[in-house]
Amino acid sequence: MRKLPNLKEFVNRPGREEFHNPLFSSLNKDIPAGIVLFLVALPLCLGIALASGAPLISGLISGVIGGLVIGLVSKSGTSVSGPAASVSAVVFLAIQDLGGFDIFLTALVIAGLFQVLFGILKAGLIADYIPTSIIKGLLAAIGIILILSQLKYAVGMELDHDRFSSFSEDYLNNAWKIVTLFFRSFTPGSIILTLVSLFILLFWAKTPLKNFKLIPPALIVVILGVVLNFIFKYLVPGLYLDSIHLVSIPKVDDLSSLITTPDLSAIGNVKIWTTATTVAIIASLSTLLNIEATDNIDPHKRKTPPNRELIAQGIGNTLSGLIGGIAITSVIVRSTVNIEAGGQTKLVTILHGLLLLLSVLFISSVINLIPLASLSAILLVVGYKLASVSLFRKMYAKGWSQFLPFVTTVIAILLTDVLIGVLIGSALSVFFLLRNNYYNPFFIENTRFRQGEAIKLELSNEVSFLNRASIKNALWSVPDNSKVIIDATFSSYIDQDVVEILRDFESTFAMEHQIDVNIIGLKESYDKGEGIDFEGKNLEKAVLKSSPGEILTYLKEGNKSYVKGNLISRRLRNKELTDFLSTCPLAVVVNCIDLREPLNMLLNTGIGDLIPIRSAGNAVSVPIIRSIEIACRNQGAKLILLMGNSGNSFVKEAIEAHQAGKESYLKPLIEDALVSKKFSEEDLKNKDPEDIANLITRFNLEFSKEKIMRDNPFIREQVEAGNLGIASAFFDRKTASVTFSELFTIEVSSGK
């Protein structure tokens, strides 16, 4: 059987996150998506530059760098970078505090270098610890922000704040005038374009047009918006949209007018380094949040390498600071538009950056014809998809531990900003995490034994210091004179703080309160992730193990996993057990009644894989052989395994009686061995009874194997044909390992 790779090696191998499509593999989807993304990103670049208090052209420069430079360096297939609203407030305050845009550019260069360092130091692992509820809350909040921010463009609102303030002296008497003025601020042409655009976007997928993949509906909306506005101009002038309702980018006369260089002479200013650190941290956290959110909604569920992304962002911000741009991050809005437009590779973001550059240099007059209402309709649909009612319903259905952090993140982001909102939501998630860890580190049940009732506490797979309080409270609440079993068999990691509590309970509290304690499966020390092997045996269906040899190998590997401590807990309700009995069993196992350890654990097999038949001393009688035949003939078992164990108490008692010259009802268990003359009377009398018991147990296994083959024609015929296998195994209780024989062959039998 081919050995599968170790899980830790598989997870940590280079390039595991780079499963992306080739750059030019989906041109028919990427080119239209790149055009749509460019049309959406263009006004956003301008708007964020305006909000940042920076020259408008700096937003376009950042957009070009985010598309061309970061798009080339990044390994993300969906993330799109550019100037972001999440850092606009920081940029605005930094420009004011430092006293000039050129001085801020120096801080931005340093911030970019910091980000490169973050990537080299692999700080991107932070993204792996952001809960899904927080990611979904971020997406929903961004969706709501999109909707709210685009409504004014969707209705073409023209609010004149000076005219409204003129009514401030007497709002009650002027209420009607205020309401009238408010509704007159709407532009009918914008409303019509928005409604038409929304109709196309919402119903496109429900018409035969959905089969036309070359041009996405978002691009149709933009083109139709330009055409309809021309029609309004000549046929319905009252609906025509003028320049304030259209995209507006500045005209560039020459390349030198685009570039602003940083004031490097101010590099010694402490404020510059403080600003650089702040921008680097906020931009990095925003990027990590955004790529995690983007990967979450990626139809292909690709994984963006976070450290590579930080390096890409750092290079982009350094270049942006050198030529007059503003801070860049991965942006969820652009990334979402990319996905919704059908983008498949990072060619989309590169193409959108190229189009931004060309639009600035050559076609600014054409771009300025696009109505903002058409773009707002695209963003309204994107926003609703991110913050749909169904999303809130799904999160609510998952329970309060998921819903409260989710909705708290949404509200906090809306009331503050992205980073503060995420931190607040994450804090609530940590609270639920701590609470769940407090209550769920173990499973408690009352178990009845022959000696009476005992309290069994089964520890979870991973028990950390966070579980210390709950475990201590549970143990220190055990009634006096109780019997307690602490089962750590299924625990792959237990924190040393918890181990100390268990030992303290056993050595002090339990003794003082007359509590009978039995701790099983507990190691003295644990290494995090010790012995984790990515072995496919627990995932394979039994039907795939078609030959006796494959089944024997499977059982050998299962015992190796048991020895390492890699067990699968199978605490199931009774009604679920039948799910595991739909396939044929793998083997029928004949073991002594002295072997009370569960076979499924010793061999780490699935429920129903083994049919146990018990026989004292591993001796087989006619009824037992008949039961073996039925298990193979009627139930489909393909391997017969005779399994003995060390320290067999029955065989040992029979030997001790023989050594003392006493008759014993257990003598038949060793009688075949005595008759065989393979054990001298001197050995039987002088050697340690346990050592002799182990040797006789092994003899009984081989003797029973021969007896089955000799007395049962069906089994012998099936073994000769290779359809059935028979082997023996010996379980050493000291090492927990099982030693297996090879499959029995007729040639071996005839030679004995």
Those residues with Cβ within 8 angstroms of residue 271's Cβ, 6 or more apart along the chain or in another chain: 97, 98
What Rg, from alpha-carbon coordinates, does the chain have? 37
C-alpha to C-alpha distance for 395 and 299, rounded to whole angstroms: 20
Annotated binding site: which residue ranges? Answer: 592, 594
C-alpha to C-alpha distance for 75 and 59, rounded to whole angstroms: 23
DSSP E strand stretches across 134-289: none
Burial of 241 (C-beta count, 10 Å sphere; 0-12/13-18/19+): buried
Q: 126 to each of 118, 405, 437, how far by Cα in Å?
A: 11, 18, 21
The answer to whether 135 touches 292, Cβ cutoff 8 Å, is yes
Those residues with Cβ within 8 angstroms of residue 314's Cβ, 6 or more apart along the chain or in another chain: 112, 113, 114, 115, 116, 117, 118, 119
- Tell me, what amino acid is at 458? E
Three-state secondary-structure class, residue 615:
coil
Those residues with Cβ within 8 angstroms of residue 234's Cβ, 6 or more apart along the chain or in another chain: none
Annotated binding site for Zn(2+): which residue ranges? Answer: 592, 594
Those residues with Cβ within 8 angstroms of residue 414's Cβ, 6 or more apart along the chain or in another chain: 141, 144, 145, 421
The H or E element that residue 329 is part of is: strand 328-330
C-alpha to C-alpha distance for 272 and 427, rounded to whole angstroms: 31
C-alpha to C-alpha distance for 53 and 252, rounded to whole angstroms: 20
- Tell me, what amino acid is at 594? D
CB atoms within 10 A of CB 213: 10
The H or E element that residue 330 is part of is: strand 328-330
Sign, CA dihedral 590-596-598-601, equals negative
The answer to whether 475 touches 509, Cβ cutoff 8 Å, is yes
Residue 324 phi, psi (nearest 5)? 100, 30
The tokens for 348 are 């989309």
Three-state secondary-structure class, residue 432:
helix
The tokens for 403 are 């819903």
Residue 204 phi, psi (nearest 5)? -60, -45
